[in-house]
Amino acid sequence: MSNMAMDHFMEEVVVKHRNGLNRALYYLSWIIIVAGGAMAMLSFNVVTRSLMAGGGFDWFSLILFLVSAGMAVYTFLFHDRILTEYEYTFTNGALDFAEVYNNKKRKSLGSLNVRNVESFGKVDSDKFRRYVSMPGIKRMNWFLNREAELYYFYFTKDSDKKMIILEPSEDLVSYIREYLPRGVYSE
């Protein structure tokens, strides 16, 4: 019987706890898309009829067409972002981060080897306050619930000071702590 090392793998998805307003905005975005599209078709019809009839150019209808079509297209392209989730995937000391829009589109945010972290701990710690107030730090907020217990990673990459703030579960925190260098974790 061979003695194989056990892989540490965990995947979790962070969702907004109070999601009622976001759901309402998402449904409102569909109303804007449909109403904007209908208004664009109607105003385009008026513009083409006035041109075909030789009655001149109807500037108001053209502006109405451009505004309503633009509003419908813009809302369609970005309405999935209203229902955003974050995904954290931990595999043997490497954390992958992704942003998921409405369970349809996935955007990779990057990876982090926790062995390269200079500090890790709770956001309500003194170390966090010291790091977050440093000049020139790039802060990435990859969490959805401000009332959750938030944690931070502080690290330097290509001489840039960076901080990731996230909301991992206690199980994920325990996995992360196993791979951190000695003295990096602060409570």
pLDDT tens readout for residues 152-165: 999 998 899 999 99
Instruction: Tell whether the model's pLDDT for residue 1 goes beyond 50.
Output: no
Average pLDDT, the chain: 92
Model pLDDT for residues 18-51, shown as the tens digit of each residue: 889 999 999 999 999 999 999 999 999 998 888 8
Q: Residue-wise over 61-80: b if at least 16 C-beta within 10 A, else e?
A: bbebbeebbebbeebbeebb
pLDDT (0 to 100) of residue 50? 84
pLDDT (0 to 100) of residue 5? 57
CA distances from 149 to 58, 124, 173, 180 (A): 57, 9, 11, 19
| pTM exceeds 0.75 | yes
- Return the amino acid letter for 69: A
Percent of the chain with pLDDT over 70: 97
Phi, psi (rounded to 5 degrees) for 185? -80, 135
- Return the amino acid letter for 155: F
pLDDT (0 to 100) of residue 106? 94
Model pLDDT for residues 53-89, shown as the tens digit of each residue: 877 778 899 999 999 999 999 999 999 999 999 999 9
CA distances from 101 to 28, 49, 111, 169 (A): 17, 40, 19, 21
